[in-house]
Amino acid sequence: MKEDLYDDLYLEEKEEKTDFKAILFKYAIHWPWFLACTLLCMAGAWLYLCYTPSVYNISASVIIKDNDKNSKASSGMADLEDLGFYSSINNFDNEMEILQSRTLIKKVVEELDLYISYATKSSFHDIELYKSSPVKVWITPEEAQKLPAPARLHLTLQPGNKLNVKLRIGEEEYNKQFDKLLELMDIVDEGYFEDYDKQSLLDGAADGLLSGLGDPYTFYYTPEEYAKLWEDDEGEYAGVGIQISTSYLTGICTISRVFDNGPAHEAGVRKGDILYKVEDLYVNSSTINDAVDIMRGTPGTDVHVTFLRGTEEMAYTLTRANINVNRIDSMMLTDEIGYIYLYDFAGDCAEKFETTVNKMVENGTKGLIIDLRDNPGGWVNDAQSIADIFLDKGTLCYLQYKNGERYYYRTKDGKVEIQLVILVNENSASSSEILTGALRDRANATVVGKKTYGKGIVQSVVPLSDGSGMQITVAQYYTPNGYAVHKQGITPDVEVDGDNGMYELGDLTDAQLAKALEVMQEKLAEKK
C-alpha cells in the first residue's frame, strides 16, 4: 500500500495551463523602454547614414581583342593552335596580369594623388574629401614612401590671414605658422623671373605694412636710416643745412630753419621757402624721407635742389657740408627780459636750456620769452626736463594708451621764479605743445602767436633685431588740465599773425616777437 502511494505521488502529473494574458501584461507595463530603445536605434541608424561616407561600387569590363584566326597575319598561329601547340588564352592571361600589376596600380595612385587624403572636422568624426579641399598638399610619391608613418596635417586658419599648421608623423609633432607676407615672399622667391635683393624686399614689405595704418607718424627705418636717426640726435650731419616742416594735410614741405653758414644759407635760401624738388624727385609729405636721404651725403659732393618762393622757382646746385646743429639760441632783449629760441627737443637741448636760464636769473632776469615757433617736437623727456625748471612737483602731461592705461609725466620740487611768455605758431607741434600746455596750466605762462599744429600723439622708436627700427604711435597725451591737443592744437592767449620771414635773432621787426615783448613788459609791470 505504501508502494502504491509512492507510485501515485511520483507519477502524478499536474496539468498546468499557460496564461498568455498575464505574460503580455507583465511586459506591457514596460512599454516606454521599448519605445525609447526603438527611437534610439532609429536615431542611431539615421546618424550613421548621414555621417558615413558614401561608398560606390563601380564595375567595368575590359575587352581584350584577340587576333582574328582567319586573318592572314595570324593564320600560322591559328594552325598551331588547332594542332594544340599554342593557345590564345595565354594572351588574355598576360593582359590580366598587366591590369593587376603593382606598377599599373602605382601609376593610377600617383596620377590621382590617392596617396593623399583630405578630411574636415565634424561633430562625430572626420568627413573625408576628395579633390575639394581649399588646401593642396604636395609631396612626391617617393617622399611619401620614405615616411615611417602616415603624415597627418592639421590646418587652422586664424584672424589676420594667419595659418597654423600642425604636422604629426607617428609620435613626432611639428608646428609652424604662416601668414600672407611669408606666402608672398615664397611665391616671389620661387617664381620671380630674375635675381633680387631679399633685404630690399623685406624693407619694402615692412614699410608697406606700417603704411597700411594710415598714420604718417608710424613708419619703418632701414638699418641705414636708423643709424642716421641717431647721427641727427648727436647734433652733426653732412647735408645742405636746412630744417623742414612737413604738413601732412597739404603735403607741402616748408623750410622752417636755415643753418648759419651752411650751403643753403650761402645760396640765399630763406625760412618759408618751399622745398619743391631734389634731383629728379618731387617733394611732398610722402617723399620727404627719400628727399632728405638724397640731400645728405659725403661732404664736398653736389646735389641739385629746387625751391619755391611764392611763384618763383629757384634751382641751386648745393655742395654738401658738415652741419653743426645748435638746439638753442639766446639773448637779452632788455635788461630784465631774456629770450631763448628752442629749435627742437633733441640732443643736449635740455642741459643747454637749463644752463642758459640759470645764467639769466643770476644776472637779474625777471621775465623769459621762450620761442617755440617752427619747433616740430622731439623727445618728451627733454620737454619734461625743461618744464621742471619752472614747475613744482606735479603733472606735466599724461599719456593715455590703447588699453585705457595712463602714464603721467611729472615734474619735481624746486622751480625758478620767473615770468613766462611762450611764442608759438602753426608749426609748433608735439613736445612743443606739451611744454606750452603745461607752462600755461601750471606756471601762468601767456601764449602768443598762432594756433599750434595739433599733434597730440606720442611716438616710440623701437629697435629691431637686424639693426633696423620703427617709429610707432603709442598714445595720446593730455595737458595737466585734461585738454586733448591732438587735431585741436593750442589757441594762444594773444593771437598775432606771422609772415614766416627770415629774421635775425631778436629782430623786433618780427611782429610776433614784438608782441611777446609787449606782453612780457605788461606782466612785469603788474608784478611790481
Enzyme catalytic residues: 430, 455
Q: How far is CA 262 from CA 272, 291, 374, in A?
A: 17, 18, 19
**Any bridge partners for residue 368, and if so which?**
338, 420
What whole-number distance in Å separates Cα of residue 219 and Cα of residue 204?
11
What string of DSSP letters covers 67-84?
A: PPTTSTTTHHHHHHHHTT
What whole-number distance in Å separates Cα of residue 516 and Cα of residue 390?
19
Closest CA to 163 of 153, 171, 172, 148: 153
Q: Which strand (E) or helix (H) includes residue 32?
A: helix 31-51
- ∠ CA 411-412-416, nearest 5°, is 95
- ∠ CA 527-452-413, nearest 5°, is 50
What whole-number distance in Å separates Cα of residue 400 and Cα of residue 383?
18
What whole-number distance in Å separates Cα of residue 164 and Cα of residue 281?
43
Report which residue type is found at 466.
D
**Any bridge partners for residue 322, and if so which?**
238
Q: Is-contact 254 506, C-beta < 8 A?
A: no
Strand order from edge to edge, sheet including 162-169? 151-158, 162-169, 172-178
What whole-number distance in Å separates Cα of residue 458 and Cα of residue 490?
16
What string of DSSP letters covers 220-278?
A: EE-HHHHHHHHHHHHTEEEE--EEEEE-TTT--EEEEEE-TTSHHHHHT--TT-EEEEE
Q: Is-contact 257 227, C-beta < 8 A?
A: no
User: Using the 8-state DSSP alphabet, how is residue 15 labeled?
Assistant: -
Residue 397 half-sphere exposure, CB side, CA atoms within 13 Å?
30
Strand order from edge to edge, sheet including 367-371? 328-332, 337-342, 367-371, 419-424, 446-449, 494-495
What whole-number distance in Å separates Cα of residue 438 and Cα of residue 441?
5
What string of DSSP letters covers 433-478?
A: HHHHHHHHHHH-PEEEES------EEEEEEE-TTS-EEEEEEEEEE
- ∠ CA 123-128-130, nearest 5°, is 145
Grid cell listed for 463: 629697435
